[in-house]
Amino acid sequence: MNEIKGRVINVSNRLPVLIRRHASGTRLERSSGGLATALEAGWRDQPGVWIGWAGATPDESIEPLLVRAARRRSYTLRSVALTEEDIAKFYSGFANEIIWPLFHDMPSRCNFDPEYWATYQNVNRKFAAVVAETAQEDDFVWVHDYHLMLTAASLRQAGVRANMGFFLHIPFPSPDIFEKLPWKQPILKALLEFDVIGFQGDRDRSNFVSCLERLLPEVAVERGTSHLLVGLAGRRSVVGTFPIGIDFEAFEHDAERPEIAAHAAEIRKRVADDVLVLGVDRLDYTKGIPERLKSFRLLLRRFPEMRGHITLVQVVVPSREEIPNYKHLRREVELLVSQINGEFTEPGWVPVHYIHRNLGREELLAYYRAADIGLVTPLKDGMNLVAKEFCAAQIDERGVLIVSEFAGAGPELRSGAIIVNPNDFSQVAQALYDAAHMTAEEKRSRMRLLRQIVKDHNVHRWIRSFLQAVPSSDQVKGGSGSASWSELDGATVGPPIASSFGSVVRVDQKMPGVALLASALSPRTRPRYAMGRDAKLHLLRSAAGED
C-alpha cells in the first residue's frame, strides 16, 4: 500500500461507525454487514480518510462523536450529510429497491421510481463534494459499492485529478437483466470515469464487459489474460477481478480464546449429540433463507431417522426493515420456522432455533466453532463472508461447509466445500445428509484445504491486489509516453510489467484478475489446491511469488 504516493481515501455509503439516537441520547455503534466488516479489518493501522454517511441526520453532535471514534483508528472519519428524503429515495429507494434486486437477478422486485434516480444523482454529487474538499492530487480515492457509481463522474467534472477506483461488492448482472434499467447508459459511462473498476468474480466482470459491448458500442475493450482495458472518449480504465477476503488471522486467533471455547462448549451442551447446522445472514431475500428452511424440512421428511438428531440454528440480523420486501420476508421466515417446529418438535428436541438479532463477535465465533455444518445458501451473492468466517473459526477442523454455487465464495471454495443449487431443495437436503454422515477424516481434509484458501486469499491481499492495479496518471490519461494497453494489462504473455508503484506485477494464474507482486528477494511458496475423489488434500504444485 505504501506504493500509493498520497493517502487512500475510502468512500462508502456508510462509515464503519453508526450514530444512533435513543431516548437517552446519542450512541456510537459498529456498522453491520459485509462491506464494513471487511474494510474495517483490512484498513486497521493504515493511514488515510474514510468518507461516508454516519447513520443519522446531521447536527452538531456528530462531529465530536466521529473525532472520538477516530482516536481508536489510524484514519480520520468524515461524514456526508444526508437528509431523511435522501435516505428514503437514494438509500432505500434507488440503491435498495432498484440496483440491489436488479443486480441480484431479481428484476420483479424492482421499483423503478424516476424520483429515485434524481435523488441518486444528487446524493452522489454530495459525496463527491466532500471527496473533492478532502482529496489531493497524489491521493487515491477508492469508492465502494453500488450506492456510489456516479461519484467519479462528478469528481472529474469538479476538476479532481486524483486516481480513482471503484469496487462492486455485489454481483454485476448479465446484459438481459441490466438493460431493464432505464438509466443504463449514464451509469455505464459514469463507471468508466474510474481508473480501476473491480468485481468479485470473473462472471461479474464478464457480464460488465458484455453490457458495455451491447449498450456502448463505441467502447474499445482489449482482452488480456488478467485485467481488461476499456477505453471511451480518450479515457482508459483497468477492469479486473478481485475476490474479497476476511482477516483470517484475527478470526482464527479470536476463535482460539478460552472464553470462546467455553461458550462453544455451552452451545454444544444445549444441543447434546445432535448435528448442529448453522445459518448466519442479514435478513435479506437474496440470502435464500426460506429456501434453506424448506430444504431442512425436506431433509426431516425424507430421512425420518434424522429427526431428533439434527438441529438448525438460523441467526438473522435485522436489515433494511423500512423496505416493504424485507418486512414480508421476516413474516415468511418466521412462519416457516413455526411450521417446521410445529410439524416435528418432540420432547427434548426443537428442530429450528431462530435468533433474530445482531450477535456480538464473541457469540458469533462461538456459534461458528460449535457448528458441525455451515449452511450458506444465498440465491445470489457477490462473495459471502460468512462462508469464509466459518472456515477461519473452525480451528478443530470438524465442520463441513455447504455453499451455494451462486455466491462468489462458491467457485473460490469449491475444492473443499459441498456445492449446491439453493433452488434445488432435494439437493440441499441430500448435501445435509451427506455432511452429517461424513467421516471425521474427510471433514478434516476438506476443512484444512478450505482454511488454507481463506488464509491465502485474505482481506489484506485483496487490498494489495486492487491497489497494485491502479495505473499511473499518465497511463490512464493517455499522455505522451503513456504505456500501451498490453503493458498496462500486465499480461501473462511477454515480460512482467513495471507497475505504477515501481513494483513488478504478475498475474495469479489460479485466480485471473488477482495481481501478484513478484519480488525476487522474498520468494514464498504458494500452494495450489485441489480436492481428490478421496477428499484428501493434494498440493498440486508450488509457484514462487509474493502476492
Torsion of CA 33, 35, 39, 41, to 10 degrees: 30
Cell numbers for 452, please give them: 488454507
Query: Is residue 443 at the binding interface for ligand ADQ, with CB under 6 A as the rule?
Result: no
All residues at 6 or more sequence positions from 132 whose CB lies less than 8 Å from its CB, including other chains: 155, 158, 160
Q: How far is CA 228 from CA 165, 223, 348, 494, 513, in A?
A: 14, 5, 58, 16, 9
Provide, rounded to whole angstroms, the least separation between the CB of residue 246 and ligand ADQ. 8
Query: Is residue 374 at the binding interface for ligand ADQ, with CB under 6 A as the rule?
Result: no
Q: How many residues bind ligand ADQ (CB under 6 A)?
A: 25
Q: Which is nearer to ligand ADQ, 37 or 79 (CB)?
A: 37
Q: Which of 34, 42, 198, 490 binds ligand ADQ (CB under 6 A)?
A: 34
Give every strand in the sheet of 235-241, ordered side by side. 75-79, 48-53, 8-14, 140-144, 163-167, 196-199, 235-241, 228-232, 220-223
Q: Segment near ligand ADQ (CB under 6 A), from 33-41, 50-58, 68-76, 398-406?
A: 33-41
Query: Is residue 32 at the binding interface for ligand ADQ, with CB under 6 A as the rule?
Result: yes
Q: Which is nearer to ligand ADQ, 318 or 478 (CB)?
A: 318
Q: Which is nearer to ligand ADQ, 236 or 451 (CB)?
A: 451
Q: Which of 129, 232, 350, 359 binds ligand ADQ (CB under 6 A)?
A: 359
Q: Evaluate whether 253 touches 395 at the Cβ level (below 8 Å).
A: no
Which residue has the CB atom at the shortest distance from ligand ADQ?
34
All residues at 6 or more sequence positions from 445 whose CB lies less than 8 Å from its CB, including other chains: 531, 535, 536, 537
Helix, strand or coil, per DSSP, at residue 74: coil
Binding residues for ligand ADQ restricted to 159-188, rule: CB under 6 A: 169-170
Query: Is residue 383 at the binding interface for ligand ADQ, with CB under 6 A as the rule?
Result: yes
Q: Segment near ligand ADQ (CB under 6 A), from 13-21, 185-193, 300-308, 380-388?
A: 380-388
Q: Which is nearer to ligand ADQ, 48 or 378 (CB)?
A: 378
Q: Which of 152, 315, 337, 517 binds ligand ADQ (CB under 6 A)?
A: 315
Q: Segment near ligand ADQ (CB under 6 A), from 208-216, 322-330, 377-385, 442-450?
A: 377-385
Helix, strand or coil, per DSSP, at residue 432: helix
- Identity (one letter) of the amino acid at 489? D
Residue 451 main-chain phi, psi, to 5 deg: -65, -35
Provide, rounded to whole angstroms, the least separation between the CB of residue 288 and ligand ADQ. 12
Provide, rounded to whole angstroms, the least separation between the CB of residue 34 and ligand ADQ. 2
**Annotated catalytic, 372?**
no
Provide, rounded to whole angstroms, the least separation between the CB of residue 494 and ligand ADQ. 32
Query: Is residue 38 at the binding interface for ligand ADQ, with CB under 6 A as the rule?
Result: yes
**457: number of Cβ within 10 Å:** 24
Which residue in 169, 227, 457, 460 is the catalytic one? 169
Q: Segment near ligand ADQ (CB under 6 A), from 176-184, 357-365, 478-486, 516-524?
A: 357-365
Long-range CB pairs of 360-363 (<8 Å, 24+ gap) are 361/254, 362/254, 362/259, 362/260, 362/263, 363/263
Supply the Cα-derived Rg of the chain in whole angstroms. 23
> Taking the alpha carbons of 301, 305, 307, 311 in that order, is the dihedral positive or negative?
negative
Helix, strand or coil, per DSSP, at residue 233: coil
Binding residues for ligand ADQ restricted to 220-259, rule: CB under 6 A: 244
Q: Which is nearer to ligand ADQ, 62 or 278 (CB)?
A: 278
> Taking the alpha carbons of 121, 126, 127, 131 in that order, is the dihedral positive or negative?
positive
Provide, rounded to whole angstroms, the least separation between the CB of residue 506 and ligand ADQ. 25
In sequence order, what E strands does 194-268 have? 196-199, 220-223, 228-232, 235-241
Query: Is residue 369 at the binding interface for ligand ADQ, with CB under 6 A as the rule?
Result: no
Q: How far is CA 470 from the centre of its chain?
A: 20
Which residue in 139, 274, 381, 508 is the catalytic one? 381
**416: number of Cβ within 10 Å:** 24
Query: Is residue 281 at the binding interface for ligand ADQ, with CB under 6 A as the rule?
Result: yes
The DSSP secondary structure of 96-132, one letter per residue, reads IIIIHHHHTT-GGG----HHHHHHHHHHHHHHHHHHH
Q: Segment near ligand ADQ (CB under 6 A), from 65-73, 294-302, 332-340, 379-387?
A: 379-387
Query: Is residue 280 at the binding interface for ligand ADQ, with CB under 6 A as the rule?
Result: yes
**Annotated catalytic, 456?**
no
Q: Segment near ligand ADQ (CB under 6 A), from 69-77, 152-160, 278-286, 324-332?
A: 278-286
CA distance 439 to 397: 12
Provide, rounded to whole angstroms, the least separation between the CB of residue 39 and ligand ADQ. 8
Which of the residues are catalytic? 169, 381
Which residues make up the interface to ligand ADQ (CB under 6 A)?
Answer: 32-35, 37-38, 169-170, 244, 280-282, 315-317, 358-359, 364, 381-386, 389
